[in-house]
Amino acid sequence: MRSNNQFNQFNQFNKFNQLGLYLTGGIFLLVILAFLRPFTIINAGERGVVMRFGKVQDTVFDEGIHLIMPIVTTVKRITVRIQRDDVQAEAFSRDLQYIQTDIAVNWHIEPTTVNKIFQEVGDQTEIVRRIITPAVSEVVKAATAKKTAEEIIAKRTELKQEIDTQLRERLGSYGVVVDDVSLVNIDFTDEFAKAIEAKQIAEQEAKRARFEALKAKEQAQADINRAQGQAEAQRLQRQTLTPELLQKQAIEKWDGKFPQVLTGDGALPFITIDPKTFNK
């Protein structure tokens, strides 16, 4: 009996030891798995560049969870969302005016070629430094050199479209998609700005002088037309005023009283009136 009890106790002890070993092994395995991470998660708006022993593979991981081989395989997450970078470019116009342009470029990496651009250029920081900034500078110089400073001001939309088109073509070959280009600001030298302001003032004054001259000309023509009308009216009136009509009008307006006018010797003047006119 005593030996059986000892045997049972020994078996229970072994079972506890085995359970403890299993738990310890399981915990150790979980720690190893957590440390090695045999999977990777690609977040929304990202792509995963797969590398095996540091060599970029043709496979590109989409969004989601992916199994990988720890140590052997590593994954570099690259965003493919639209990004904005501000670039300041200096150039000269066709008439040799210094121009400083602030440009905002909205761009993103082509998702299907993210592994190639990472292999050839690098991550987002390297793309901006090595590809986008130099390209913007060269395109702006080429575009502004075709126009005078005044044309750049007057045809800003045309300049923006040209820069946009050139950047799309140039960056597209690297797998960088240009979504939009904005000319945030265009600065000239203080001397040129003052010259433009003076020219605008002169043009406004010239327009005002032309307006005043046109107004005076129209007023003079109106006076001439009015004088001609009055002369014509008087001419027509003279044609219709006969001596008989004038005498009749005078009689119609006479109130029957002789004018109280004395001559120099105090005699009352006589007015000869033809009695026949009263019969008319």
User: How does pLDDT run across 212-221, given as a tens digit for each residue?
Assistant: 778 778 887 8
Q: What is the pLDDT of residues 148-175, one digit of tens each?
A: 988 998 899 999 999 999 999 999 999 9
Listed residue (41, 52, 45) closest to 78, CA to CA: 45
Q: Which residue has the tokens 């140590």?
A: 71
Q: Which residues on neighbouring strands pair with residue 64, listed in sequence order?
A: 42
Section 197-206 average pLDDT: 70
The b-or-e profile of 21-47 (16+ CB within 10 A means b, else e) is eeeeeeeeeeeeeeeeeeebebeeebb
Listed residue (79, 263, 109) closest to 175, CA to CA: 109
| Residue 182 near residue 163 (C-beta atoms within 8 A) | no
CB atoms within 10 A of CB 7: 10
Q: Is the pLDDT of residue 116 over 70?
A: yes
Q: Which residue has the higher pLDDT, 117 or 201?
A: 117
- Band the pLDDT of 223: cuts 50, 70, 90: confident
Q: Is the pLDDT of residue 260 over 70?
A: no
Q: Report the C-alpha gap between 98 and 91 in whole angstroms.
A: 6
Section 21-49 average pLDDT: 75
Q: How many CA atoms lie within 13 A of 7 on its CB side?
A: 4
Q: Could you tell me the two tokens for 81?
A: 């969302």
Q: Which residue has the higher pLDDT, 14 or 247?
A: 247
pLDDT of residue 36: 61
Range of lowest pLDDT (43-57, 69-83, 177-191, 223-237): 223-237
Q: What is the pLDDT of residues 59-95, one digit of tens each?
A: 999 999 998 888 889 999 999 999 999 999 999 999 8
pLDDT of residue 250: 67
Q: Is the pLDDT of residue 134 over 90?
A: yes
pLDDT of residue 258: 58
Q: Is the pLDDT of residue 23 over 80?
A: no
User: How far from 95 is each of 91, 138, 162, 190, CA to CA, in Å?
Assistant: 12, 18, 19, 16
Per DSSP, 112 falls in state G
Question: 116-125 contacts: CB < 8 A, separation 24 or more?
Answer: 116/175, 117/174, 117/175, 117/176, 118/49, 118/56, 118/76, 118/78, 119/49, 119/56, 120/174, 121/174, 123/76, 123/78, 124/78, 124/79, 124/83
Section 200-208 average pLDDT: 71
pLDDT of residue 278: 45
* The pairing of beta strand 176-188 with beta strand 55-61: unpaired
Q: Which residues on neighbouring strands pair with residue 105, listed in sequence order?
A: 85, 181
Range of lowest pLDDT (4-8, 21-25, 117-121, 193-197): 4-8
pLDDT of residue 45: 93
Q: Is the pLDDT of residue 121 over 60?
A: yes
pLDDT of residue 8: 54
Phi-psi region at 127: left, alpha or beta (left = phi > 0; alpha = psi -120 to 50): alpha
Residues 6+ apart with CB under 8 A from 185: 101, 102
Task: Specify burial of residue 245 (Cβ count, 10 A radius: 0-12, 13-18, 19+).
Answer: exposed
pLDDT of residue 279: 46
Q: How many CA atoms lie within 13 A of 35 on its CB side?
A: 6
Q: Report the C-alpha gap between 47 and 35 in whole angstroms.
A: 23
